[in-house]
Amino acid sequence: MKKVVTFGEIMLRLAPEGYCRFVQANTFAAAYGGGEANVAVSLAGYGLPAVFVSRLPAHEIGQAAVNSIRAFGVDVSRIIRGGSRVGIYFLEKGAAQRPSKVIYDRAHSAISEASVGDFDWQAIFAEACWFHFTGITPALSDNLVAICLQACKAAKAGGLTVSCDLNYRKNLWSREKAGAVMTRLLEYVDVCIANEEDISDVLGIKAGGSDVQAGLINREGYRETAAELFKRFGFQQVAITLRESISASDNNWAAMLFSGGEYYFSRKYPVHIVDRVGGGDSFAAGLIYAALREMPPQKRLEFAVAASCLKHSIEGDFNLVSAEEVEKLAAGDGSGRVQR
């Protein structure tokens, strides 16, 4: 099978144990993760040849980041080594009414200081069929805007499908800059993935009648949003994740898909959260996998939503589930009975 290539940053994730606050932490659980790396790990777990492209320092913390995804079968041969920092994010897990907190310490990371010319996209895409990135990568530096543009062009030239998860991060860039840059990049994108907030923040398209804070979701508004995205960028597919945040411990999770001119809505899962970081990435990976397996739209959507539902029950950024496990849930078995 042809390869799926993802491109972005992988960070060191440092989380206090259990529900401890930052000021209580005497140890940090150390893991690695980042939007595109998370997608690559998911895909490798489903049995696809997944390649993660990035830049990491030559030192041992950089090596540990490499090993963290190589362990799960991701092809790391396209990661170049250089720079001095692995980006870091500190994660404090919330509970009940107390939200999770993320402190980013990612400025000056090796990938953010990558140079145009560091990556030979033609070679990287040689045997690939799909390219995925998120809105975080171009937000990291101006060089990365240029590199993403190169990658997108090379991908289209090579006949790859290009998917992008909007993923707006307000502490990396302004809405204005995000809007301008992403508008250029989305030109090359076939499959657009986003949540409602991203679409509003980056592209200024607001769904009527929803209130993210209150957890209310309005189906009609989402239809309009998808339609507007399609109109503006001509995407093959638009997928929008719908999160209702009841508390830091409990969310509802669903998604819609616009594909082939039709709108599909998934089942809605009540998710009792073990770790919600990477939830969106697991959705994107599910969608890519389902597309490559040529599932019909509703099944594709249900696979992606079930995959990300399961992610919420797994520690760390990575969605360490098999396709069989996802399919079992997508087929309706969420009873959680012991598997012996």
Scan residues 148-177 and list those touching a copy of itself (CB under 8 A): 169-171
Q: How far apart are CA 287 and CA 300, in angstroms?
A: 6
- Residues pairing with 245 in the sheet: 251
Scan residues 181-240 and list those touching a copy of itself (CB under 8 A): 212-215
Q: Kindly state whether residue 138 participates in binding a copy of itself, applying the rule CB under 8 A.
A: no
Q: How far apart are CA 44 and CA 47, in angstroms?
A: 5
Q: Which is nearer to a copy of itself, 150 or 247 (CB)?
A: 247
Nearest to 240 by CA among 187, 167, 146, 329: 167
Q: Kindly state whether residue 58 participates in binding a copy of itself, applying the rule CB under 8 A.
A: no
Alpha-carbon Rg for the chain, nearest whole angstrom, is 19
Q: Please tell me whether residue 102 adopts helix, strand or coil conformation.
A: strand
Nearest to 34 by CA among 167, 213, 187, 174: 167
Scan residues 29-48 and list those touching a copy of itself (CB under 8 A): 29-31
Q: Kindly state whether residue 28 participates in binding a copy of itself, applying the rule CB under 8 A.
A: yes
Which range in 130-138, 186-194, 290-298, 304-312 contacts a copy of itself by CB under 8 A?
A: 304-312
Among 2, 81, 102, 224, binds a copy of itself (CB under 8 A): 102
Report which residue type is found at 306.
A
Nearest to 6 by CA among 72, 47, 46, 54: 54
Among 1, 60, 159, 294, binds a copy of itself (CB under 8 A): 60
Q: Kindly state whether residue 25 participates in binding a copy of itself, applying the rule CB under 8 A.
A: yes
Scan residues 256-285 and list those touching a copy of itself (CB under 8 A): 269, 271-274, 276-277
Q: Which is nearer to a copy of itself, 105 or 228 (CB)?
A: 105
Q: Kindly state whether residue 293 participates in binding a copy of itself, applying the rule CB under 8 A.
A: no
Size of the site for a copy of itself (CB under 8 A): 86
Q: Which is nearer to a copy of itself, 116 or 246 (CB)?
A: 246
Q: How far apart are CA 52 and CA 49, in angstroms?
A: 10
Distances (CA, A) of 196 to 80, 169, 180, 207, 218: 34, 14, 18, 7, 11
